[in-house]
Structure 1
Amino acid sequence: MAVELKVPAVGESITEVHIGAWHAEKGSYVDADANVVELETDKATFDVPAPINGIITEILKKVGEQASVGEVIGYMEPAEKPAGSDEGSSDSGGSKSAQTSSKSEPAAASASDSGSGNGNGGTRVMPAAERLLAEKGLSAGDVKATGPGGRLLKEDVLSHRPAVADSSTNGQAGRHEDIVPMSPIRQRIAERLVSAQHNAALLTTFNEIDMANVMAFRKQYQDTFVKKYGIKLGFMSFFVKATIDALNAFPQINAELRDKNLVYRNYYDIGVAIGGGKGLVVPIIRNAERLSFAEIELTIAEFAKRAQANKIGLDELQGGTFTITNGGVYGSLLSTPIVNPPQSGVLGMHGIVDRPVAVNGEVVIRPMMYVALTYDHRVVDGKEAVSFLRRIKEVVEDPARMLMEV
């Protein structure tokens, strides 16, 4: 009896998903609870597990196509695992056949790289590569596979640059355009950014922070911190702590405009912008005011790890009272971040650069960071915004104040 593979409900506001990749092909055996298909929404990516042990008999939706919540995207038939072979089975931790084959292949071929097995001439196509092939309108045979064991990797598709002659280029060979559909996450990001610009009165104020003291503080306690907690003490925990201090002093920036009312909160759910495998995501550190430096660092590290694997849950991206984004990790010196509605403020951190500054009447070289606060002027006045940013500057420049709460 055929068993349906349906798109599960993934959130109250989500009605449609994007087929990211099939982890198993038609006719292959799959263990119950092994990941069968990757689905994307405008907020996150998640896998759908197999409901039974069996064979995939039909795949109704191809990579790159849309499907509605509750829609049937494939069928399975109950079956026992083929004797003597696990080839083609899919599992979240890697199939047995993939684990066995890794003994005779380079170490770079991990168990999770078992691939879909689709392709041309036996080429094994990795799920991410399969998705990109569909987006670019290519087949596996069009791209040279460089992965271990002849696998076709995502990087192979990204680096593929066919020479195409086009009449629009006056006969010049080697010029081409790649038309790639926007992912649901990218579409949602675009919509929210444009909405923020149109529906809020955004203004940005700037300041600069001397990072010398906090850098010395980190250096002094880094080894002890790592030994005790198993993670490095980064800058973000200092800025989260300083932000909470400043939000407590200027509650308007932690507030939300709801209809014609201002909603003030006595808790601090801080969103931290993290570069994920499919774009920027902003997971929320809930009740950040209750967390220690170590707990903040561990939470951010876990978010970053799962963001790269596109494993951030939808509930972890929703809500938030304020956001912090660090463009400095990408080399940004100065920028104007955009508020994430319905929040009223966002703090932008930037690169640390040695610059000459005046200290006590003398010019000295100090490690300086520009910081920016973009705020909704409908909720926050300029005085509060400037004072908020100055408070962050004061606390970060004298990190002991975070412990003394002064």
Structure 2
Amino acid sequence: MAEIKVPVFSESVSEGTLLTWHKQPGEAVKRGEVIAEIETDKVVLEVTAQQDGVLQSVTKQEGDTVLSEEVLGTIGEAAASTPAPDQALGPVAGETSAGGTAVQADSQGQQPAAARREDLSPAVRKIVAEQGLDPAQLPATGPKGNITKADAVAAAQGGLTYQGPQSAAQPVSQQAAASSPSAPAPAPVSQVPPGARPEQRVPMTRIRQRIAERLKEVQNTAALLTTFNEINMKPAMDLRKKYQDQFVAKHGVKLGFMSLFVRAATEALKQFPVVNASVEGKDIIYHGYYDIGIAVASDRGLVVPILRDTDQLSLADIEKKIAEFAGKARSGKLTLEEMSGGTFSITNGGTFGSLMSTPIINAPQSAILGMHNIVERPVAEQGQVVIRPMMYVALSYDHRIIDGKEAVQFLVTIKNLLEDPARMLLEV
């Protein structure tokens, strides 16, 4: 018999939350297979089986707080017996799990539809309870005709049921959501009775809590100031259009605007090293390298993976790495190492249509560049009014060490490079 243990956390992480069991007691597992996921305040860690066998027992339920190297359960021989349904699948009506709220039985002693546990995995059971779903109405696409987590999520997103007090067969959403360590977004409400005022209480995930703490800490300690400028993106757009096919043919990846901004920011950081510096107590730490964080939106919150040594990366290298980070962020596969450090950051609100914003720096960094939406508008060129695709850019910085002159000149340098991108090597 082998113990299933929590992975070793980094020094900056003290505990985590057991997010999901991918296997139920009694199910077969293979060596290297992911059997559980743990959410920390930075990343989601995978727990893999160390041998072939059967998940024999679990000592921690979804939503429980776990510590580094704590035992989660055991894997036994293939002949190991399957625990009884109530033991394998958690508490039944009238019982509560850690941090949870019990689902009460109705007046005839029967469990409501959302609490039925036949053939439901822990992950599916959690979604059913949170979203007030009736298992009898859900599609079942699993290999054994069972309801998968994807089935439950699709049903919740489709708004198959109304989560309100007038739904007698469903628990009130506020009660169900209280037991979730990482509750999904509320399902769309359909067929809401007139006058109904549904609400849903969703706890913050550990990552969201950490984001909130860090952002508030920055506001409380740094002297934040933002300077703005605008960039005529026509030269960059023309260049990308002209060389895109050759770039893709040679490098196997498309040329985007982010790689051009990373290259321009790197050159500007070389000219203004204080923008690449950080504050530590009463000291200024000047970094002789360029590690740029790229803000990426994920389902669990904003994450900032780091492009290392950007002065040594080609445009193609940057594009490939950004695509890799985006994929890992969507699947929750980013590691602590990939998000640690960084001397400067770039965030692109234009992806979502933002026209202008004042980004908050990512401590202990001292500055962050905000990109925005490209909008055609009239501008004056050589005494003539012309229509150009323009982008507002913002540089938020820590005024404790960066003066306004340096911040403005840094942003102007980026503007000049983007409006004459031929100076940046395309490698095509």
Q: Give the equivalent residue in structure 1 for 2:72.
A: 73
CA contact (8 A) 1:143 1:156 kept: no
Give the whole-Å Cα distance in 1 for the aligned partners of 2:424 and 2:26. Answer: 60
The amino acid across from 1:310 in the alignment is: G
Give the whole-Å Cα distance in 2 for the aligned partners of 1:221 and 1:65. Answer: 53
- TM-score, scaled relative to structure 2: 0.79
CA contact (8 A) 1:27 1:55 kept: yes
Following superposition, the deviation at residue 148 of structure 1 comes to: 3.9
Q: Give the equivalent residue in structure 2 for 1:204.
A: 226
Structure 1: state its 5+ residue gaps. Answer: 83-118
1:258 has 2:280 as partner: yes
Provide, for residues 199-255 of structure 1, a one-character-per-residue CA deviation record: whole Å limited to 9, x for no partner.
111011100000000000000000011111111100000000000011111111100
Q: Give the equivalent residue in structure 1 for 2:23.
A: 24
Q: Give the equivalent residue in structure 1 for 2:63.
A: 64
Give the whole-Å Cα distance in 1 for the aligned partners of 2:367 and 2:140. Answer: 45
Q: Give the equivalent residue in structure 2 for 1:145.
A: 138
Q: What is the RMSD of the two structures over their aligned residues, measured on CA atoms?
A: 2.5
Give the whole-Å Cα distance in 1 for the aligned partners of 2:126 and 2:383. Answer: 60
Following superposition, the deviation at residue 147 of structure 1 comes to: 6.5
**Residues 123, 222 of structure 1: CA spacing in aligned structure 2 closer, same or farther, 3 A cutoff?**
farther
CA contact (8 A) 1:39 1:48 kept: yes
Q: Give the equivalent residue in structure 2 for 1:311.
A: 333
Following superposition, the deviation at residue 155 of structure 1 comes to: 3.4
Give the whole-Å Cα distance in 1 for the aligned partners of 2:35 and 2:218. Answer: 37
Provide, for residues 251-285 of structure 1, a one-character-per-residue CA deviation record: whole Å limited to 9, x for no partner.
11100111111111111000001112312110000
Give the whole-Å Cα distance in 2 for the aligned partners of 1:226 and 1:380. Answer: 39
Give the whole-Å Cα distance in 2 for the aligned partners of 1:370 and 1:158. Answer: 35
Percent identity of paired positions between Structure 1 and Structure 2: 47
1:351 has 2:373 as partner: yes
Q: Give the equivalent residue in structure 1 for 2:7.
A: 8
Q: Give the equivalent residue in structure 2 for 1:324.
A: 346
**Residues 55, 124 of structure 1: CA spacing in aligned structure 2 closer, same or farther, 3 A cutoff?**
same
Following superposition, the deviation at residue 173 of structure 1 comes to: 5.3
**Residues 122, 251 of structure 1: CA spacing in aligned structure 2 closer, same or farther, 3 A cutoff?**
same
Q: How does 1:275-294 map to 2 (within 5 A)?
A: 275-294=297-316
Give the whole-Å Cα distance in 2 for the aligned partners of 1:121 and 1:265. Answer: 56
Structure 2: state its 5+ residue gaps. Answer: 82-114, 167-171, 173-192
Q: Give the equivalent residue in structure 1 for 2:363.
A: 341
3-state secondary structure, aligned to 2:196: coil
CA contact (8 A) 1:272 1:284 kept: yes
Give the whole-Å Cα distance in 2 for the aligned partners of 1:55 and 1:140. Answer: 30
Provide, for residues 33-61 of structure 1, a one-character-per-residue CA deviation record: whole Å limited to 9, x for no partner.
21110111111112111122222222222
3-state secondary structure, aligned to 1:403: coil
Q: Give the equivalent residue in structure 2 for 1:102.
A: none
CA contact (8 A) 2:293 2:345 kept: yes
1:247 has 2:269 as partner: yes
The range that moved more, 52-61 or 318-327, is 52-61
Q: How does 1:6-405 map to 2 (within 5 A)?
A: 6-79=5-78, 120=116, 127=123, 132-133=127-128, 136=130, 141=134, 144-146=137-139, 148=141, 150-151=147-148, 152-160=151-159, 161-165=162-166, 174-403=196-425
Provide, for residues 61-96 of structure 1, a one-character-per-residue CA deviation record: whole Å limited to 9, x for no partner.
2222211112212122133699xxxxxxxxxxxxxx
CA contact (8 A) 1:21 1:130 kept: no
Give the whole-Å Cα distance in 2 for the aligned partners of 1:147 and 1:276. Answer: 27
The amino acid across from 1:53 in the alignment is: D
The amino acid across from 2:9 in the alignment is: V
Give the whole-Å Cα distance in 1 for the aligned partners of 2:126 and 2:30. Answer: 23
Provide, for residues 145-174 of structure 1, a one-character-per-residue CA deviation record: whole Å limited to 9, x for no partner.
3464554232323454412259xxxx9753
CA contact (8 A) 2:355 2:373 kept: yes
**Residues 381, 146 of structure 1: CA spacing in aligned structure 2 closer, same or farther, 3 A cutoff?**
farther
**Residues 157, 224 of structure 1: CA spacing in aligned structure 2 closer, same or farther, 3 A cutoff?**
same
Give the whole-Å Cα distance in 2 for the aligned partners of 1:79 and 1:147. Answer: 27
CA contact (8 A) 2:128 2:135 kept: no
